[in-house]
Structure 1
Amino acid sequence: MPPLEEQQPLLPNRSLDYDEEETAYEPTEKVRVIGVAVDDWAKTPPFSWKKLWLFTGPGLLMSIAFLDPGNLEGDLQAGAVAGDSLLWLLLWATAMGLLVQLLAARLGVATGRHLAELCRDEYPKWAGLVLWAMAELALIGADIQEVIGSAIAIKILSNGVVPLWAGVVITACDCFVFLFLENYGVRKLEAFFAVLIATMGLSFAWMFGETKPSGLDLFLGILIPKLSSKTIRQAVGVVGCIIMPHNVFLHSALVQSREIDRNKIGHVREALNYYTIDSTVALAISFIINLFVTTYLQRRFMVLI
């Protein structure tokens, strides 16, 4: 058994004036992870499929930002204008996004705090306010296109019966519905979004199969970088849709939903390993769906032209 001084958390305890109620998840809301007890505080417990299942979920919620209407619009533009030539950029942008999200997850697991809490505690008050304002502006800029795009889609699907303003109201209400679902437990919210992602994936996979794309063209588009003056705007759109600043804050908070003993380094490493698998699989699925959309729309526009 190591000395007590060796079993300290990675960050010192919060100050007494810290508001303990301002946490991402209450202790009763966290998913309890039970596994094989390990006496050595620094030893990582053995891999368990059951534990992996319990840790699976935050990556799915995070990956929604890679599959939102803005991404689909970016895929549409990239497929219609650039064809398969920007698939390599989609791959590397997703890989870069995965790296950022893994860093956010490691931050949340290792410290027990999410990024917003750390910015508030570690920076001066004026710097925290500036970061908060920047995050709010980035979030508003990202959400405007989602809300307006959803309103336009609802108007088109309803043959103009639902006006734009009503579509905006419906879209706003959706957000409160999702927040309400969290009251039934974080696992149910994760399951709900998993169903949505699965539905989206199967739908676009079916459409992708109908286009009968060339495997060689896809392979070359993913491996060989190509960029021209005609596709530079679409390239910027692809990268901009993948890298979401608010998603970094979100992911560092989502990993707080599992109960982890941060006094044991082995348990922290174990959680990081499972979250790495969770995030990697989730973003791999998002990349495949975005590839389906880009390829399908490219083939459709080629037929129309």
Structure 2
Amino acid sequence: MSIAYLDPGNIESDLQSGASAGFRLIWVLLLGHVLGLLLQRLCARLGVVAGQHTAEVAYHYYAKWPRWILWIMVEFAIIGSDMQEVIGTAIALYLLSNKAIPLWAGVLITICDTFTFLFLDKYGFRKFEFFFCFLITIMALTFGYEFVISAPAASDVAKGSFFPWCKDCDMDQILQAVSVIGAVIMPHNFYLHAALVKSRKIDRSKKEKVVEANKYFLIESGIALACSFFINLFVVSVFGNGMYNKSNSDIREVCLSGNNEMPDFYRNAFDNSTDDATSDIYHGGIFLGCTFGVAALYIWAIGILASGQSSTMTGTYAGQFVMEGFLQIRISRWKRILITRSLAILPTILVTIFSQGVDHITGLNDLLNCIQLFQMPFAIIPVLTFTASKFVMKEFAISRWEKVFYLFAAAVIITINYFFLFEYIDENYNSGIGWAIFGLIILFYSIFVIYLSHYCFVAMGFYQQSTSGKFSKIFPPPNESAFDAPWLLNDAIEDGSSTNKAIDAWKF
């Protein structure tokens, strides 16, 4: 679960955050992790209490066509995330081989490495988790090394972390702050986490065991996200300390004059312009190599490689659970990998072949982060709906104040989505055709968000679900019999009462 907060898209967003705003946006990163923890807590509780993960509950809760649309939207999020992982891995191999492995070859290699790591799954889920921990450790050591040699001022890092303000920030820096939230909180992770908790053996027939499991899953998630926050913090601090207020010509001068043992083809990666320094995974590695020696370049690339490899498997598991839940079909994992990785690789390899070099492929990350933001409501709203529903959660449904808080958070995120999409279209596709397409997308997007929000408000008790008439055909009530609370049924059996009465007692 924590790997989704450390994929190459997140790392690049951290890099750009530091390069564009210095240390001033670290608090946004911290806020994103705190909000992420609270939302992940809901996902874990759903899996523990309902015994079903988010996609499985959605299968019973929504009508057929909305359910299919929701599945497609989540698949888009997974494919977008997978493309970032492919790009990150290809660039890491490109740097480690000193350009001997071209980008298109690196993209193709990612097909093979996924299947190579897949065999570890045969040795048990715990051993696979250990392998994930190993990759996280590599990221902590590599990015931590860059943090140590960069030596940013501790006072500046602390101030940026705990003072929620961005004095004199321009629009680009505000958009960067929005991008940080979009990169950190991944939509498909909400579906993944609720499914992962099912790998733990929980006696759901006893209420106290469910309470205990919820507590320890919260602690586990907190530790995991604390680790991912510090790794992200390392990246923001390194580039906030080194690239903030630097132009391309400034860094080019360092590359040409320094005794850093950098190959000549890296020394000319930055042009001689006075524009803000180019900040992406590729140029970030070259900056580190020019500033601290070529070893820093290779260590950076190893960290990016670990990030890409670990998040690849995260996307694979999320895709499998989503497909099994929404479609109620089971497909072998290697087939699932072949499908999602092919969908991610095809557009990526086309860009690598027909583009003019690494500069263009790294620019894809901005578009992919935008896609992640666009899909966010399709993960947050269902999770809030299910965890607020007494049909699903029984006495573990979220409280009134939690409903208010999470609704406010969801409203803020959705508003940010509209703002970010408007700015992105205005900057990149500012034409009549572009705005016409954008208008149609927003129309259908808004209709579907309203549809999902209706069920969320009903689950929270704001008004009753209609069970008759034309309105009920558009919003059919959920299949209540699909949700159980085994500890209540167990108590009912011991008391000699009927199962149906035990369930009926918890209806609205």
Shorter-normalised TM range: 0.7 to 0.9
Give 1:235's match in structure 2, choosing from 152, 162, 177. 177
The percent of aligned pairs where both chains have the same amino acid is: 52
Gaps of 5+ in 1: 1-61
Is 1:63 equivalent to 2:5 in the alignment?
no
Cα root mean square deviation, aligned? 1.5
Give 1:256's match in structure 2, choosing from 198, 204, 211. 198
Q: CA deviation at 1:124?
A: 1.4
Structure 1: how far apart are the matches of 2:102 and 2:142? 27
Structure 2: how far apart are the matches of 1:97 and 1:278? 14
1:259 aligned counterpart, secondary structure: coil
Query: 1:53 is matched with which residue?
Result: none
Given residue 100 of structure 1, which amino acid in structure 2 is its aligned partner? L
Structure 2: how far apart are the matches of 1:209 and 1:279? 27
Query: 1:136 is matched with which residue?
Result: 75
Given residue 240 of structure 2, which amino acid in structure 1 is its aligned partner? Q
The aligned runs of 1:1-305 (5 Å cut-off) are 62-227=1-166, 228=169, 229-301=171-243
1:172 aligned counterpart, secondary structure: helix
Once structures 1 and 2 are overlaid, which stretch shifts more, 264-273 or 122-131?
A: 122-131
2:23 aligned counterpart, secondary structure: coil
TM-score normalised by the chain length of structure 1: 0.76
Q: CA deviation at 1:161?
A: 1.9
Structure 2: how far apart are the matches of 1:177 and 1:245? 26
1:231 aligned counterpart, secondary structure: helix
Q: CA deviation at 1:252?
A: 0.6
Size of the aligned set, in residue pairs, is 244
Structure 2: how far apart are the matches of 1:172 and 1:91? 34
Structure 1: how far apart are the matches of 2:27 and 2:67? 37
Q: CA deviation at 1:146?
A: 2.0
Structure 1: how far apart are the matches of 2:191 and 2:173? 31
Query: 1:54 is matched with which residue?
Result: none
Structure 2: how far apart are the matches of 1:101 and 1:212? 33
Q: CA deviation at 1:272?
A: 0.9
Structure 2: how far apart are the matches of 1:119 and 1:173? 33
Query: 2:497 is matched with which residue?
Result: none
Q: CA deviation at 1:180?
A: 2.3
Structure 2: how far apart are the matches of 1:106 and 1:176? 32
Given residue 264 of structure 1, which amino acid in structure 2 is its aligned partner? K
1:275 aligned counterpart, secondary structure: helix
Once structures 1 and 2 are overlaid, which stretch shifts more, 252-261 or 146-155?
A: 146-155
Q: CA deviation at 1:158?
A: 1.4
Q: Deviations over 1:115-167 (max 9, x none)?
A: 11111122111121111011011111222222123212212321222222221
Structure 2: how far apart are the matches of 1:239 and 1:120? 28
Structure 2: how far apart are the matches of 1:165 and 1:211? 32
Structure 2: how far apart are the matches of 1:74 and 1:282? 20
TM-score normalised by the chain length of structure 2: 0.47
Return closer, same or farther for 1:80/1:110 CA change in 2, 3 Å cut-off.
Answer: same
Higher helix share: 2
Q: Deviations over 1:37-67 (max 9, x none)?
A: xxxxxxxxxxxxxxxxxxxxxxxxx000111
Given residue 193 of structure 2, which amino acid in structure 1 is its aligned partner? H
Gaps of 5+ in 2: 252-508
Q: Which has the greater radius of gyration? A: 2
2:121 aligned counterpart, secondary structure: helix
Structure 2: how far apart are the matches of 1:135 and 1:210? 40
Q: CA deviation at 1:195?
A: 1.1
| Divergent runs of 4+, >4 A | 302-305
1:230 aligned counterpart, secondary structure: helix
Q: Deviations over 1:9-28 (max 9, x none)?
A: xxxxxxxxxxxxxxxxxxxx
Query: 2:333 is matched with which residue?
Result: none
